[in-house]
Structure formats: structure tokens, C-alpha cells
């Protein structure tokens, strides 16, 4: 039986648009330059997380699933996902704008890539003055109009820009055209998928001087032209309470502002829990075991946990379950 809070080694990714905040603000240890992403919990092939603490230190997430099954992720989750962990958890630092992109839904991803689709959410941890996100279009357009904008290299003129600040949260459904803008540090929760269709990349070139590949045809199949996008989610911020930000079929994310102690009862729960520290630091206590959780770290609580205590002078966490 797994009976302690599990931490993992982050997997750091250099990106053309990455910066230094994952090292300077989140204290990730690396000599890489332009680090854009820290994959905190991953079951993506060739990028599987490794435990960094306790008696399971050195084991991979996949090994934990194969050994502990529903004890780790819950009975219903194990029947649904088997030995595949359903979420990919990241911190992202955009020194420059990411490419404008779109993600496929489950149906398209299964058909074309034998993969999960990519539903995701963002929580803004820090944003430089004037930082913006792109979510959706600024007006209704048809697929034919969209293709004209793409062919004329004018797609940036019809995108919807959103000013952001720390604490803002956005839910990005498959089919939503989007990008993270320069100056933003955020937490990302998503389905386990690494599939992205790039629409526009600000005319950037790679280190060999070549334009980065665009996926215009694939994007056309994935984009939702029908529904008005309401990506920004409002939520309450009551202290020592579970404040729901997003509840969808792939994950539930609650915001918890802890001052002092908060006890959480998971006796009736049938899911693992992930805590992401998005401000301050805390101690996560599970029976006789405890782990310190610092700003920019995550911890996995197995589905067998009945009660968890969070102790902190003042911290903000995201609680993620399925």
C-alpha cells in the first residue's frame, strides 16, 4: 500500500520561446538555456516521471501504476485508463509568445495519433506588465475566411487578446485557437497528450534559419468555428476552503488558500490528488508522513489516502483530481 505524499523529478524542456523564470523563480536546477516547460508529472512516452522521495525513490510513474493500480489512481480511473496516467502537469515560462495553436479532441486524436485529445487549463502564477494571452477569435469567422487570413499571413489580426494577472484562470477546450503570451509564468493541467497543431509562429525561424512547421490542414479539422469561446473562469477565493475553478470530465481543479491548517477528507474519494503550489510553501501531512511543498512544486497523493492536512502560514495551492 502507498501511504505517503510522492514527489517527482521535474523534466525540463528547452524551447525557442523559453526563458529563465523556471530557474530563478521556481528554483529548478538546470544549466539549460531558454527553459520553457517543466513537466512535473508525466506519463508521455519517453518522458515518464521518476519518483524523487521516500521508499519508492527511483521508480517511474508507469511502474507505480503497474504495481499499485487502483490504489494509486482509484478504482474508476484504473478501469478507465489502465496503466496510463490520465494527466500531464506542467509549469510554463513564456519569455516570448508561443506559437498560435490548437489541440484536437479525443475523437480526432484517437483516429490520427492513437492518443488522448488535449483539454487543458492554465493558472497564471506571475505575469509581467502588459502580458496577454490569446484565446479564440475576436469575431465570428467561417473556415473559408480563416484560410484566407492564414494564406495572407494576417491571422494575428483576428485573434482575441486577453490581459492577464496572477490568479487568473483559463479553460482551453480542444478546438480553441490559443497561445501563451510573452512574460507569463503559469501552471498547466492537461490530458496526457503532446499533440499540438501549429497555426502561426510569428514568422520565427529555428536555429538553422528554417521556418517552423505549420499544421494548417490538421488545424482546420480541429478548430471549433461554431461556439463562442469563454475561456476565462471566475472562481471564489475563500480562505481554507475548496474553491472550484474547473470541473470537466477530464479533471477537477480547486483553488485552496491555506492560512494555518486545512484538513481534507478523502475517505469517500476514488481518485488520486495532485497539489500544485502556486504561491508560498506548505507542509503536506499524510498520517505519520509529511513532505514540504515549495512554490513551483507538486506532490501526488495516492487514492488510498483518507485524510490529508495542509499546514502553512500562507500559501495558495491547486488541488487536482479526476
Note the pLDDT of residue 296. Answer: 98
pTM of the model as a whole: 0.96
pLDDT of residue 230: 84
Measured distance between the N- and C-terminal CA atoms of the chain, rounded to whole angstroms: 20
Residue-level pLDDT at 141? 92
DSSP 215-245: -HHHHHHH---SSPP--B------BTS-EEE
Q: How many CB atoms lie within 10 A of CB 86?
A: 18
Distance CA 19, CA 34 (A): 4
In order along its 322 residues, the chain shows pLDDT tens digits of 889 999 999 999 999 999 999 999 999 999 999 999 999 999 999 999 999 999 999 999 999 999 999 999 999 999 999 999 999 999 999 999 999 999 999 999 999 999 999 999 999 999 999 999 999 999 999 999 999 999 999 999 999 999 999 999 999 999 999 999 999 999 999 999 999 999 999 989 877 888 888 999 999 999 999 877 789 999 999 999 999 999 999 999 999 999 999 999 999 999 999 999 999 999 999 999 999 999 999 999 999 999 999 999 999 999 999 9
Amino acid 102: pLDDT: 97
Residue 264: predicted pLDDT: 98
**What is the three-class DSSP state of 5?**
coil
Residue 113 CA: distances (Å) to CA of 26, 192, 225, 237, 260: 33, 13, 22, 39, 46
How far apart, in whole angstroms, are the C-alpha atoms of residue 168 and residue 237? 11
Length in residues, the chain: 322
Rounded Cα–Cα distance for residues 296 and 146 (Å)? 38
- Contact present, 13 and 23 (Cβ < 8 Å): no
Domains and CATH numbers, the chain: 11-222 (2.60.120.10), 243-321 (2.60.120.10)
Neighbours of 141 (CB within 10 A): 15
3-state helix, strand, coil in the chain (%, to 5): 15, 40, 40
Where in the sequence numbering do the catalytic residues fall? Answer: 198
- The phi and psi torsions of 68 (rounded to 5 degrees) equal -105, -15
pLDDT of residue 183: 98
State CA 269 to chain mean position distance.
22
- CB-based contact 134:178 (threshold 8 Å): yes
Amino acid at each position: 500500500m502507498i501511504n505517503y505524499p510522492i514527489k517527482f523529478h521535474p523534466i525540463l524542456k528547452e524551447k525557442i520561446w523559453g526563458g529563465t523564470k523556471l530557474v530563478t523563480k521556481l528554483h529548478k536546477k538546470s544549466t539549460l538555456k531558454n527553459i520553457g516547460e517543466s513537466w512535473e508529472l508525466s506519463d508521455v512516452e519517453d518522458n515518464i516521471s521518476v519518483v524523487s522521495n521516500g521508499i519508492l525513490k527511483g521508480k517511474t510513474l508507469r511502474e507505480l501504476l503497474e504495481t499499485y493500480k487502483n490504489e494509486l489512481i482509484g478504482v474508476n480511473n484504473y478501469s478507465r485508463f489502465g496503466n496510463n496516467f490520465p494527466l500531464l502537469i506542467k509549469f510554463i515560462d513564456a519569455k516570448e509568445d508561443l506559437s498560435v495553436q490548437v489541440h484536437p479532441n479525443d475523437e480526432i486524436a484517437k483516429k490520427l495519433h492513437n492518443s488522448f485529445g488535449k483539454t487543458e487549463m492554465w493558472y497564471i502564477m506571475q505575469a509581467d506588465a502588459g502580458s496577454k494571452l490569446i484565446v479564440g477569435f475576436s469575431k465570428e469567422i467561417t473556415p473559408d475566411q480563416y484560410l484566407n487570413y492564414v494564406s495572407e499571413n494576417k491571422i494575428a489580426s483576428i485573434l482575441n487578446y486577453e490581459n492577464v494577472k496572477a490568479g487568473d484562470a483559463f479553460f482551453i477546450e480542444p478546438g480553441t485557437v490559443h497561445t501563451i503570451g510573452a512574460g507569463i509564468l503559469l501552471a498547466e493541467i492537461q490530458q496526457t497528450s503532446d499533440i499540438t497543431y501549429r497555426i502561426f509562429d510569428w514568422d520565427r525561424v529555428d536555429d538553422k534559419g528554417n521556418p517552423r512547421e505549420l499544421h494548417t490542414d490538421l488545424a482546420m479539422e480541429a478548430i471549433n468555428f461554431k461556439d463562442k469561446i469563454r475561456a476565462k473562469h471566475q472562481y471564489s477565493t475563500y480562505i481554507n476552503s475548496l474553491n472550484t475553478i474547473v470541473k470537466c470530465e477530464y479533471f477537477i481543479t480547486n483553488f485552496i488558500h491555506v492560512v494555518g491548517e486545512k484538513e481534507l477528507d478523502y475517505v469517500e474519494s476514488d481518485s488520486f490528488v495532485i497539489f500544485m503550489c502556486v504561491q508560498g510553501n506548505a507542509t503536506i501531512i499524510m498520517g505519520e508522513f509529511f513532505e514540504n511543498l515549495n512554490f513551483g512544486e507538486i506532490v501526488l497523493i495516492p487514492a488510498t489516502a483518507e485524510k490529508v492536512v495542509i499546514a502553512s502560514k500562507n500559501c495558495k495551492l491547486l488541488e487536482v483530481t479526476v
